Amino acid sequence: MRDIRVATAQFETRDNDREYNLGRIRELTRIAAEKDAEIVSFHESCIPAYTWLQTLSKSQLLDVAETVPEGSSVGRLIEIAREFNIVVMAGIMERDAAENVYNTYVTVGPQGFIAKYRKLHPFINQNVSSGDRYVVIDLLGCKIGFSICYDNNLPENVRATTLLGAEIIFMPHVTGCLPSIMPGRGTVTRERWENRHVDPVQLRQEFRGPKGRQWLLRWLPTRAWENGIYAVFSNPIGLDYDTIKPGLAMIIDPYGEVLTESHVLDDDVVVALLTAEKIETSPGRRYLKARRPELYDGLRVPQESVTLPGWSIKTK
């Protein structure tokens, strides 16, 4: 890869309001471009918003979903990319000719559509289909991979994407501040979010504690460190249907160190310089060379795949 400036964003979406959400994407893209970023990434399903999708029937999901790349939202993203001369990555619900619906992440540039990745482990609605492949592309002199939210909870997905050549993996999420049996985790009240300008300290403590940042730092830097890749994390902030999300947009380097992150209790975009040198000197790249695939037959034993969100696990 070459040295490259990358931006990652957080913003509060509005459910089923594409115009508003695309407007926020445009404004944050403008800010990223002003900070000399060459790529800006937004969170999972940021164009229609996310958690409200759990309430929809299949026909309603199809009404929300768009074709990729022909749909109007992809066209708008291309206009934004062209206006600010930057690559834009954003989440959408995609429909295909067979009326399957996918949680899809699209990449566009000033010249048009570049790539799409379909989430491998969707769970927000039983009518959303699973993607069936990893995606790694050549982009601006770098090898770029993708892994949406729950996909990153399985080390195999990030490892497989790395083995396909990825040097930078974009990890769009909608996560944090959810019910959990884990100590210290749980939800944040809407009142605390709405009171953030009067009393930011309590909300910041919740977002940066085990409900948010402390939980992320248990595993997200590990994905970067064990593979020797840059991890670009995006996430919404604020009200997302019936939950509050903590934002915490961040970029993690191949040593597992946080290069940059947002501390803002509002819409924000942060930018970091990703340098090529760290890839080859990282521990993860040494570990990749030490692998012994002849011992890994157990990883290929067939099993039924069941994707369960953490809030589905109840205490006894």
- Cβ distance 9 to 249 under 8 Å? yes
The per-residue pLDDT for 21 is 98
73-93 pLDDT, tens digit each: 999 999 999 999 999 999 999
Q: Mind spelling out the 3-state secondary structure of 23-64?
A: HHHHHHHHHHHHCCCCEEECCCCCCCCCHHHHHCCHHHHHHH
Q: What angle do CA 97, 100, 101 make, to 5 degrees?
A: 115
- Cβ distance 116 to 91 under 8 Å? no
The per-residue pLDDT for 310 is 81
Is 299 a domain residue? no
**For residue 41, which of 89, 112, 110, 106 has the smallest C-alpha distance?**
89
75: left (phi over 0), alpha (psi -120 to 50) or beta: alpha
Residues of the chain with pLDDT under 50: 316
Q: What is the CATH number of the domain that holds 244?
A: 3.60.110.10
Helix (H, G, I), strand (E, B) or coil at 300: helix
Is 222 a domain residue? yes
C-alpha–C-alpha distance, residues 255 and 287, integer Å: 13
Is 314 a domain residue? no
- Cβ distance 5 to 271 under 8 Å? yes
Is 149 a domain residue? yes
Tokens 């083995």 locate to 163
Q: Which residues contact 207 (CB under 8 A, 6 or more apart)?
A: 176, 177, 188, 213, 246, 247, 248, 265
The per-residue pLDDT for 5 is 98
Is 302 a domain residue? no
Is 311 a domain residue? no
105: left (phi over 0), alpha (psi -120 to 50) or beta: beta
Is 274 a domain residue? yes
Is 169 a domain residue? yes
DSSP 275: P
User: What are residue 33's phi and psi, to 5 degrees?
Assistant: -65, -35
- How many folded domains does the chain comprise? 1
Domain span including residue 119? 4-292
Report how many helices (DSSP H) and strands (DSSP E) the chain contains, helices first. 9, 15
Q: Which residues contact 216 (CB under 8 A, 6 or more apart)?
A: 175, 176, 233, 248, 250
The per-residue pLDDT for 314 is 65
Task: Say how many CA atoms lie within 13 Å of 224 toward its Cβ.
Answer: 26
Helix (H, G, I), strand (E, B) or coil at 180: coil
- Cβ distance 251 to 169 under 8 Å? no
**For residue 155, which of 223, 95, 109, 93 has the smallest C-alpha distance?**
223
147-170 pLDDT, tens digit each: 999 999 999 999 999 999 999 999
